[in-house]
Structure 1
Amino acid sequence: MAQQYTLSGKITEAKGTAIPFSSVYVHTTTQGTSSNIDGQYKLSLPKGQIELLFSAVGYEDRKITLTIAENTTLDVVLAPKIFTLNDVVIKSSNENRAEEIIKKVITKRSVLLNEVQAFSAEVYTKAMQKLHKAPKRFFGRDVATILELDSNRKGIIYLSETESKLDFKQFHKIKEVMISSKIAGDDKGFSFNKASDLMVNFYENILFEDKLCVRGFVSPVADNALSYYEYKLLGTNEENGQIISKIQVIPKRAHSPTFNGTIYVVNDSWRISAVNLSITKKNGMELIDTLNVKQQLVQVGNVFVPQSIQFSIAGKLLGFQFSGYVLGVFKNYDIKPTFNKNFFTKEILKVEKTSNRKDPLYWEKHRSVPLTEEEFENYLKKDSVSKLKASQSYLDSVDQVKNRFNARQILVTPYIYYRSYNKKSITFDPIATSVFFNTVEGLALKYAATWRQGFDDGRYYSIKPELRYGFANDHFNPNIKAKYLYDPIKNATIAIGFGSEVANLNSQEQTNLLQNTINTLVFGKNVAKFYERRFFNVEASREFAPSFELKLTAEYANRSALTNSNFTNFGKNSEFTSNNPFQPNNENSLLFPKHKAFIVSGTLAYTVAQKYITRPDGRFYMESNYPRIEFNYKRGIKGVFGSEVDYDFISVELYQKKLQLGMLGKSSLLIGAGKFLTTESLNYPDWKHFRANQSIVFNPDERYFQFLDFYIFNTTKQYFEAHFQHNFGSFFLNRIPLLRKLKLEEIIGTAYLSSPEKRNYTEFYFGIKRLNFRIHYGYAYDRDERIKKGFKFSYGFNL
């Protein structure tokens, strides 16, 4: 390889103002780089004469020929690009000239979308996030200490760089290999940057679906863009013999899911050559206030491919004020690569084991975009103490700060005691979720601490002892559970548990202890029913192929029915029933006799077309746009350890969590069916239980029935169920001025169940959602008769 020399300098305007993220390329090639946010650039070049092209969105390109014989400094001044309205691009007396140009682009959109059939490229990425303001404490923890901020609680909290080899083929086939990875202050970590995340194609009708908001944002050249945008021609400019039109993109409605800014279109070919577009929180974004996208494309052969792209964000959230950017530089394109038949798989990114072992000299030589002074100081500060950070004395001193006990913290959040040097931790449950009430145990306490031991390769094991005591029924139920993840790549685990516990009669865990406490004490309804079991179980799971997961479980349990012990609530009226759902008025009735059970079960799950990332510390799956199919088999074996159960059960379930419907939002779908093949002997805990709900405060999972009784309509025969839910993502409410500021999302749904116990049961509901909170109103029908209706309220992290 020929000796390389370094060309560096700064790109500015005439007055000396830096031009950030400018492109610097060897003319007629895709070998090049980008300037940083301060306009500084650096490029490695061989000895000899070379022609360079300096360009930036909104500025005149500048070609400079120079001879490279040593390391050279070259500062470059770019002039603002002058766009004139003198040249008539399309002659029309009645039509907006900019709109006519956009119509030409839209006409060719589907062709241009798939014009680049394949390519290979090298991609450099850099991500930086910083805090400008932060609260002193967050959930009882000192923010400046945890995030390594300065005395004013400011500073860079994440800085990372990567180099990748990226291969692409239509349609949506991607293979990326991360060759080098660097994170400030973490010489053992692997960056989460992905070059494929930067492949934004504005020929798509909708961008950022279910990322920045549910519906996504309409492209300025989408098929229906004229319904969302107005356009203004700011002028034209000749560049390399081509006429470039600069067009201002103006949303017709300020609060619509649209971009605003400028795009640059090559006349005659009607291709986009660059964009400078922004969206803000009033356009429907969650969590961040503004996003700016700058993209420059370069012509390679007869097609245009991304040369550089930059996302810049800013926002305020929970007292934190932040900003940041992600930059990608694409170079050394091959637009006619040859791939063998099995080249592309579901593995979209592989991080090489040695990617985080590159020394500073490597990065000084290979870094495509120079560091700013602030970034350089951040690396210097954090990397200089990285080895110190790995020492026991340093980690112990940091742990000493983290481990300070805070009463407010332990009340509402877990308290974690760290021993970072040994990768150990002990997590203590918060008090708020450990004290609860139900009519079986009365006031009760369930408290657990989890001891975890981690390893450098991603393996870990955990041990969780748990104590539960009911003050009214005077029952003490201790148990202990342990888990070992022994193969992170195949997500292979083994777990064991033994002891005693109070379990819900419905195995689907349809309500948590806090929700049941609220329903009991506030609304006077003891909807949850319980039984007691003393158990020993073992579970093993692993992937025998990507997206194929097999889980096997064996359990022995001694089960006992329970009765109510306490009938307290805050109100005068209550609707308390017995703990036997089939005899609600008989307090002494036991649902089933005391018995022993030995049960084995297996679950085989497959997620269709699920993509994943392989890192040295594990395999990480991306959320799939296709269904998950799950097969279950359960067998109760009589005679083993005195077991009294004897049955066979089989089921299949198809679950589509996310089905994007463009501007109409997203849907979810579940279809399930199952059957008991034999029922020689079984008790109520062995029945097929449904994800039911009777609570006013409920679980927001879209796979749940909203009004179905928790217990009495479960089955010992066969069943079919279906659930559908749709989130419109403010499609309607965004049109109402006073409501659009609340960013409420419209929810509708339906569910269906048919079994011998409940034929043709149907539900319909509608409501609104905001972040993790939701309220809806619904109806339930038994065949054609309406049997229930009412409001439901939820909090949680589901759709």
Structure 2
Amino acid sequence: MKRVLFGTALLFLITTNLIAQQFAIEGTITDRFTNHPLAFANIQVMNTSLGTSSNSDGKYLLRLEKGSYKIVASYIGYKSDTISLSVNMNLPINFKLIPTSINLDEITVLPKENPANAIIKRAILAKNYRNEKLISYKFNAYTKGIIKSTKDISSNSNSIGIGLGVKDTAELKITGILENESIGYFQKPNNYKEEIIAQKQSANFPSSINMLTGGRIIQNFYSDDIQFFGRELVSPIAENALEYYYYFIKDTLAIDNRNIFQIQFEPDYKSNPGFIGNLFITDSTFNLIKLDVNLNDAANPGGIFSRVNIIQQYLPYANSIYMPIDYRLFVIGNILGMAKFAFDIESVLYDYKINPKIDDNYFDMVVLKILPEAGKMDSSYWQNNQKIPNSLEEIEAYKRIDSVEAIPKTFADNFSWLSNYTWLSDNFSTVGTLNFYNFNKVEGHTLNGGIYYYDLLAKRLSSAIDFSYSFSDQKFKSSISASYLLGKYRTTEISFSAFNNLSVLFGESDEYGKLLSTLTSLLIHNDFRNYFYSNGFNFNITGAVFPILDLGIGFSNQTDKNSFVNTEFSFFRKDKFYEPNKLILEGKTVTFLTNFKLDFRKYIEDGFYRRRTAQGKSFFTIDGEAEFSNKSILTSTLDFQIYKLNLYVNLNSFKSTKYILEAKAFYSSDAIPYQFMEALPGNVSLLGKDFTFRTVNIFSTLGDRVFTLTSQYQFNDEIFKMLRIPFLENARLKLDAHFNIAWLSILDKTKKLNTISFQNSFPQFIEPLYEIGFGIGHQLIPLKLEFAWRLNHRNENGFVIGINSFAF
């Protein structure tokens, strides 16, 4: 059906942005006979690459410059409607589509072959042909994200949180909105870059949240690289799809005179993570033009989502290459029944340029760039550039959230009993309840205070002042630090700190929090740490000299003194005594240091910072440090050099599994003070931490020449799913295995220098220590049970059972 409309005599004029000279064409797409809105119907501007699609209420919004156009509205199962119009003002235009009939052609099917499989085979061939023709492309995208929860979202520049403890029956409401416009570029084989040219969000969101949307979250099902929640999933038209999914023809529909096969599918085995839903494939050409799918239960991480629905549509562009024109993601979840939430992400992709010439130099280390002016667009810009109309609920949510955020927050609004910091504003905090008090065998009861400033002077300056008073050693301690960031993206840091405090001996190897030692001291009369007094200052400069290389220099001056056990206080086990505090080598140490870091990951430029991103791919980093102490030039107590080298590898394996390795080398050229030595990362009693030696007691083994390799293979639940073990395959368990190596020695000169500290005990691993083990836990519980064995040196801790958690 065709109608010719001329808006000059029929419609009223609405004020528009005269600079952009774009006019709004908007309305509703419905079924002509039932008036039922057609959700996600397509709108195309003929002979251009422009278009949009309707929202879930059938409403659409199209922006066009002054001129004459033909606009086509289409929907699977309906005849398309084409309108010719002259645009020189805003025009309300509704489409009423007529259901279409079907004319079936014959499909050749081999004996005993599922007819749906024949269609999928042809669709895979069509996909491959399409991908061969597609060399590069450019597109524009408009994205809107809606967050829903039962309680208002709280946030600052560092975090976002939702309320807990709400019943399932509580009603969800819009508590956050974000919108952005972006331009994306792609070139074979795998070059991709995106620029966000405009962004806004409701007042309770930091602008950085817009980095999570747009083309970075959009999955293109014409690609075999489909990922959700860190897990690779098989596309329904992937090369191996017929071996993974079961298909059947559910219906045959039509657009105009073209038949469309509706094919329903699901994984062959329920334990296989993947998609369930419907594909819509054209007859004769076998192009995928739409999918409406959900993640199955096996792909649902921890079972926290009750719905993960993806809808995507495709239209042909130059050379009959089908490209995605939208992407809809609808998610509903509930974390352990305590935090009910939902989020919707809707993207419209338009203005495609197929196989344009793109300079290879354009694809650099930046994969996402937020332009400096992106967050400065005013309301008139969004009024004239919005591509998805706001619903009444969204309009009201914007008003409600902005009005709530305009109310000054009180101390009670920011206070939490379970926080390390209490935020007084977005840039200012003080010590929180979890940091206000601590206890150890040297200081006894200690009260802590602090004043912290963040992101001052255009997010360049941060500073901190910490102070405390301890009642057993009767000392007041303090430290002050500040850092300033230089460069357009703040890639160079100048930092300074001055301190007079109690330090943890071998603190670099300590993976546990201060709260744990406080609890073990007060409850079981056991402080597993040792301490020494230290005062002095540090000065450092680090910066990016190349996109992949950071270099730094620094200077340190510190004087260390011994500390002693000053209390035997504990609530229980009062008959016990704390272990004597380890003695160190007292004196002044003045050092000059240099460091480097190699990181080949690409990065995001968010307008302020460069943030590294692996994009779900394997990667590695290398960093090192050289520290020089000299008696004559630096007036240090000793002459020595210390060299450190670290390697980190994150290697993706099959499905969602990955292998992570950390290798560290520590080398001293001469005798060094006891407190400068390197301790193996061990553990406390039955507790454990990732990338530590589970069979080594914390701080028990140290050296001045050390090599460690700690590695972990994270199987997640893939092994249980592959073996299809009843109950276990759907139990959402997480399995990992670890393998560690340690080689450690001590120079005779270091032994002699630190005789009092060692007390004639020099534990070493001249023959490397080998340790192996595994852990098992649940995806939603931050605990896992671990089992570890020494493969040699089995004279102690040959076999250990422990509990691992980041909460310790």
Give the TM-score range, shorter chain.
0.7 to 0.9
Q: Does the 8 Å contact 1:134/1:321 carry over to 2?
A: no
- Structure 2 unmatched runs, 5+: 1-18, 165-169, 746-763
Q: Which of 348, 353, 366 in structure 2 is aligned with 1:329?
A: 348
**Correspondence 1:82-481 to 2 at 5 A:** 87-106=105-124, 115-131=133-149, 133-134=150-151, 155-185=173-203, 189=207, 191-192=210-211, 194-205=213-224, 207-208=226-227, 212=229, 214-237=230-253, 239=255, 243-267=259-283, 269-279=285-295, 283-286=299-302, 287-300=304-317, 301-317=319-335, 319-379=338-398, 398-399=408-409, 401-403=410-412, 409-410=416-417, 412=419, 414-418=421-425, 424-430=427-433, 432-441=434-443, 443-445=444-446, 447-452=448-453, 454-455=455-456, 457-469=458-470, 471-481=471-481
Q: 1:4 to 1:480 in 2, by over 3 A?
A: closer
**Correspondence 1:567-716 to 2 at 5 A:** 578-579=579-580, 591-608=583-600, 610-623=601-614, 625-639=618-632, 642-656=635-649, 658-663=650-655, 665-676=657-668, 678-679=669-670, 681-700=671-690, 703-716=691-704
Hey, what's the Cα distance between the residues in 2 that align with 1:405 and 1:369? 35
Deviation of the 1:359 alpha carbon: 2.9
Q: Does the 8 Å contact 1:129/1:156 carry over to 2?
A: yes
Hey, what's the Cα distance between the residues in 2 that align with 1:475 and 1:339? 65
Deviation of the 1:10 alpha carbon: 0.2
Kindly indicate whether residue 765 of structure 2 is the aligned counterpart of residue 766 of structure 1.
no
Kindly indicate whether residue 738 of structure 2 is the aligned counterpart of residue 754 of structure 1.
no
Hey, what's the Cα distance between the residues in 1 that align with 2:785 and 2:469? 32
Which AA in structure 2 matches 1:540?
A: I
Q: Which of 27, 38, 44 in structure 2 is aligned with 1:19?
A: 38
1:781 match: 791
Q: 1:105 to 1:778 in 2, by over 3 A?
A: farther
1:495 match: 495
1:153-184 per-residue CA deviation (whole Å, 9 max, x = no partner) reads: 86432222222221111233122222222223
Kindly indicate whether residue 58 of structure 2 is the aligned counterpart of residue 39 of structure 1.
yes
Deviation of the 1:452 alpha carbon: 0.9
Which AA in structure 2 matches 1:124?
A: Y
Which AA in structure 2 matches 1:326?
A: I
Aligned length: 751
Hey, what's the Cα distance between the residues in 1 that align with 2:651 and 2:49? 38
Aligned CA RMSD, in angstroms, stands at: 3.7
Hey, what's the Cα distance between the residues in 2 that align with 1:170 and 1:342? 14
Hey, what's the Cα distance between the residues in 1 that align with 2:240 and 2:524? 50
Q: 1:640 to 1:289 in 2, by over 3 A?
A: farther
Deviation of the 1:309 alpha carbon: 1.1
Which AA in structure 1 matches 2:742?
A: L
SS state at 1:165 partner: strand
Hey, what's the Cα distance between the residues in 1 that align with 2:466 and 2:400? 41
Hey, what's the Cα distance between the residues in 1 that align with 2:206 and 2:729? 45
SS state at 1:708 partner: coil
Kindly indicate whether residue 711 of structure 2 is the aligned counterpart of residue 724 of structure 1.
yes
SS state at 1:208 partner: strand
Deviation of the 1:398 alpha carbon: 1.1
Hey, what's the Cα distance between the residues in 1 that align with 2:134 and 2:651? 27
Q: 1:271 to 1:528 in 2, by over 3 A?
A: farther
Hey, what's the Cα distance between the residues in 2 that align with 1:575 and 1:251? 61
Q: 1:405 to 1:289 in 2, by over 3 A?
A: closer
Q: Does the 8 Å contact 1:37/1:372 carry over to 2?
A: no
Hey, what's the Cα distance between the residues in 2 that align with 1:279 and 1:351? 31
Q: 1:524 to 1:61 in 2, by over 3 A?
A: farther
SS state at 2:696 partner: coil
Between the aligned residues of both structures, percent identity stands at 20
Q: 1:270 to 1:634 in 2, by over 3 A?
A: farther
Which AA in structure 2 matches 1:39?
A: G
Deviation of the 1:205 alpha carbon: 4.4
Which AA in structure 2 matches 1:510?
A: E
Deviation of the 1:760 alpha carbon: 1.6
Q: 1:458 to 1:376 in 2, by over 3 A?
A: same
Hey, what's the Cα distance between the residues in 1 that align with 2:408 and 2:363? 44
Which AA in structure 1 matches 2:310?
A: V
Q: Does the 8 Å contact 1:516/1:526 carry over to 2?
A: yes
Q: 1:359 to 1:436 in 2, by over 3 A?
A: closer
Q: 1:755 to 1:114 in 2, by over 3 A?
A: farther
Q: 1:82 to 1:463 in 2, by over 3 A?
A: farther
SS state at 1:125 partner: strand
Q: Does the 8 Å contact 1:511/1:528 carry over to 2?
A: no
Deviation of the 1:628 alpha carbon: 0.9
1:282-312 per-residue CA deviation (whole Å, 9 max, x = no partner) reads: 5332454321111111112132111111111
Q: Which of 64, 71, 78 in structure 2 is aligned with 1:60?
A: 78
Hey, what's the Cα distance between the residues in 2 that align with 1:755 and 1:142? 44
Deviation of the 1:73 alpha carbon: 2.8
Deviation of the 1:715 alpha carbon: 1.9
2:754 match: none
SS state at 1:728 partner: strand
Which segment is superposed worse, 525-534 or 331-340?
A: 525-534
Q: Does the 8 Å contact 1:563/1:578 carry over to 2?
A: no
1:88-108 per-residue CA deviation (whole Å, 9 max, x = no partner) reads: 433123011112333444567
Kindly indicate whether residue 94 of structure 2 is the aligned counterpart of residue 75 of structure 1.
yes
Deviation of the 1:433 alpha carbon: 4.3
Q: 1:683 to 1:114 in 2, by over 3 A?
A: farther
Q: Does the 8 Å contact 1:255/1:284 carry over to 2?
A: no
Which AA in structure 1 matches 2:377?
A: K
Deviation of the 1:729 alpha carbon: 1.9
Which AA in structure 1 matches 2:625?
A: N
Hey, what's the Cα distance between the residues in 2 that align with 1:404 and 1:114? 57
- Structure 1 unmatched runs, 5+: 147-151, 581-589
Q: Does the 8 Å contact 1:113/1:201 carry over to 2?
A: no
Q: 1:345 to 1:206 in 2, by over 3 A?
A: closer
Hey, what's the Cα distance between the residues in 1 that align with 2:250 and 2:626? 66
Which AA in structure 1 matches 2:610?
A: R
